[in-house]
């Protein structure tokens, strides 16, 4: 087999129609063996970056069907370690291990309250998360804002955490899907990130590697999402579900709105704080709603409830009984943090570099997710370069949300920066780009647009 022949098959050939116009003939479907050859040889360094770039560009233009996407995911998955949970280190053999994956957003801290809630319902959740990417936040950065919290777990520690608390939170080990690491870095600089089969295989190869048997996807759409439009988001959601199912996993995707930030807080420790509020049953309505909806689906997929109503009630009871908060704090302790210190910091731990945004006029406000996310990166919540350090205490508290009516001079945002110097520019971004006013109430999105199974 040769890489060039595989590239040529996926590229297809240009032909002329009866009028002499040049058209691109459809490319040929690749076999499992061809895809495996390409990924194995690329991971081993025997296929160079320039050939893989040509291949990803061919996929960008000609796509892949579900079978090809499944074969690509499988090859990428087996390029590295796959964590085994069943019957290992005392974990149950016949359990259905379930996890959730979000395509990322602004203020999206759902994983943090979700894991202990479903754990309180008896679900076992192997949660492997990522860091802040672009304008979106990252679960690992949020967890690391808890002093001492260790996300660099070994496989043994990961399994021990799941056995003890029902879930554990870790970052990817260097050997999870190494093919994806190489390919993602290449796609990033060859304009081939925005391809549904490539995104699907990238996400799924990492998710399946963590050992989950069932997956719930939260596929965002809107300004703060990776997929801006509903059709693009639906295409990705469908690909994720069908490819996961083709790989023998149970899967459901929720398409959810990300035109405005989720909840009232954007930041690392601030989102831990909002998590605690949720687990105390007093979180913002949108965060509670999405957490319960995704949680109920995880409980159902794990086989811990007979109906959606029962699963939802179990999640609500986990919060009202205090059990989910207890499990969250137990996990903080298991992973090296100090739960008492954490609880003592709630509502008090703030960056000293602070300013406020007040309403410039009367009216209904709209807060754009993407622009708010960009301002939060500027404040130090995320990174401009991959080796930047994030600031645990930077962030934004939103006292008003899209659709709220304000009076001139009313407090809309508390803004916390990594230093004094970042504040004026961040406020400029928030007031001139993220925030807008109208005389009539703006359209508000349906939080959960569609569920795909
Ligand atoms: N997130 C991933 O993990 N991979 C992609 O290709 C895009 C988003």
- The pLDDT of residue 28: 87
Q: Looking at residue 406, what is its pLDDT? A: 98
pLDDT in tens, 50-69: 999 999 999 999 999 999 99
Ligand 1 atom nearest residue 202's Cα: 4
Q: Where are the beta strands (DSSP E) in 33-79?
A: none
Catalytic residue among 74, 99, 141, 180: 180
**Best of 179, 184, 205, 240 to mutate for ligand 1, by most ligand atoms within 8 A of CB?**
184
| Residue 108 annotated in active site | no
Going by pLDDT thresholds of 50, 70 and 90, the confidence category of residue 27 is confident
Which of 356-388 are b and which e, b meaning 16 or more Cβ less than 10 Å from the residue's Cβ?
ebebeeebbbbbbbbbbbbbbbbbbbbbeeeee
Q: How far is the CA of 354 from the centre of ligand 1 (A)?
A: 34
Choosing from 140, 188, 198, 202 the residue with most ligand 1 atoms within 8 A of its CB, the one to mutate for a pocket test is: 202
The per-residue pLDDT for range 130-174, each reduced to its tens digit, is 888 788 889 999 999 999 999 999 999 999 999 999 999 999 888
Orientation angle between helical segments 308-320 and 323-334, nearest 10 degrees: 70
Is ligand 1 within 6 A of the CB of residue 203? yes
388 pLDDT higher than 90: no
Q: How far apart are CA 272 and CA 129, in angstroms?
A: 15
Average pLDDT over residues 429-433: 98
C-alpha–C-alpha distance, residues 424 and 409, integer Å: 18
By C-alpha distance, which of 247, 257, 248, 197 is closest to 225?
257
Beta bridge partners of 128: 170
Tell how far the Cα of 335 is from the centroid of ligand 1, in angstroms. Answer: 27
Q: What is the mean pLDDT of residues 408-421?
A: 98
Mean pLDDT of 205-227: 95
> What's the pTM?
0.94
SS3 357: strand
> Choosing from 53, 201, 202, 205, which is the catalytic residue?
202
Q: Which domains does the chain have, with CATH numbers?
A: 3-62 (1.20.970.10), 98-343 (3.40.1030.10), 353-438 (3.90.1170.30)
pLDDT confidence of residue 182: 93
| pLDDT tens digits along 164-198 | 999 999 998 888 999 998 998 899 889 898 899 99
- 309 in Cβ contact with 221 (< 8 Å): no
Binned at pLDDT 50, 70 and 90, residue 122 comes out as very high
CA distance 131 to 390: 10
H or E element that contains 216: strand 214-221
Rounded Cα distance between 414 and 261, Å, is 15
Confidence class for position 444, pLDDT limits 50, 70, 90? confident
Q: Please say whether the beta carbons of 329 and 342 come within 8 A.
A: yes
**Ligand 1 close to Cβ of residue 202 (< 6 A):** yes
Half-sphere exposure of 46 (CA within 13 A, CB side): 9
Asked whether residue 224 carries a pLDDT value surpassing 80, the answer given is: yes
Residue 266 near residue 106, CB atoms below 8 Å: yes
Please name the residue that has the structure tokens 């069943």: 86
Atom of ligand 1 nearest to the CA of 203: 3
Nearest-atom number in ligand 1 for the CA of 193 is: 6
328's CB contacts (< 8 A; 6+ apart) are 112, 113, 115, 116, 275, 276, 279
């Amino acid at each position: 087999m040769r890489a060039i022949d595989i590239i040529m098959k996926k590229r297809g050939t240009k032909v002329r129609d009866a009028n002499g116009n040049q058209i691109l003939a459809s490319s040929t479907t690749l076999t499992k063996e061809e895809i495996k050859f390409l990924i194995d040889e690329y991971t081993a360094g025997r296929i160079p970056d320039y050939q893989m770039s040509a291949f990803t560009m061919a996929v960008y233009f000609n796509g892949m069907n579900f079978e090809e996407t499944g074969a690509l995911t499988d090859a990428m998955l087996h390029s590295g370690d796959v964590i085994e949970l069943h019957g290992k280190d005392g974990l149950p053999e016949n359990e259905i291990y379930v996890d959730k994956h979000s395509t990322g957003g602004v203020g999206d801290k759902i994983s943090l309250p979700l894991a202990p809630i479903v754990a309180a319902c008896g679900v076992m959740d192997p949660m492997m998360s990522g860091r802040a990417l672009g304008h979106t936040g990252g679960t690992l950065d949020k967890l690391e804002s808890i002093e001492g919290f260790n996300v660099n777990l070994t496989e043994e520690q990961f399994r021990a955490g799941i056995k003890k608390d029902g879930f554990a939170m870790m970052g990817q080990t260097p050997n999870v899907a190494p093919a994806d690491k190489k390919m993602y870095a290449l796609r990033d600089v060859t304009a081939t990130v925005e391809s549904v089969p490539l995104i699907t295989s990238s996400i799924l190869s990492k998710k399946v590697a963590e050992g989950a048997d069932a997956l719930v996807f939260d596929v965002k759409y809107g300004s703060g999402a990776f997929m801006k439009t509903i059709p693009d988001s639906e295409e990705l959601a469908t690909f994720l579900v069908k490819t996961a199912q083709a790989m023998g996993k149970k899967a459901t995707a929720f398409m959810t709105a990300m035109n405005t930030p989720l909840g009232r807080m954007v930041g690392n420790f601030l989102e831990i704080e909002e998590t605690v509020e949720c687990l105390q049953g007093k979180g913002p309505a949108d965060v509670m709603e999405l957490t319960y909806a995704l949680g109920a689906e995880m409980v159902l997929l794990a086989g811990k409830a007979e109906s959606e109503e029962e699963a939802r009630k179990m999640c609500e009871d986990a919060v009202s009984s205090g059990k989910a908060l207890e499990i969250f704090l137990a996990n903080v302790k298991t992973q090296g943090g100090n739960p008492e210190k954490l609880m003592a910091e709630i509502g008090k731990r703030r960056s000293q570099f602070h300013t406020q945004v007040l309403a410039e006029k009367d009216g209904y406000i709209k807060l754009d997710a993407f622009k708010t996310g960009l301002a939060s990166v500027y404040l130090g919540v995320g990174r401009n370069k991959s080796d930047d350090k994030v600031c645990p205490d930077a962030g934004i508290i939103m006292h008003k949300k899209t659709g709220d009516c304000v009076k001139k001079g009313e407090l809309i945002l508390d803004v916390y920066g990594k230093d004094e110097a970042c504040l004026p520019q961040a406020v400029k971004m928030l007031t001139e780009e993220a925030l807008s006013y109208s005389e009539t109430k703006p359209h508000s999105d349906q939080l959960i647009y569609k569920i795909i199974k």
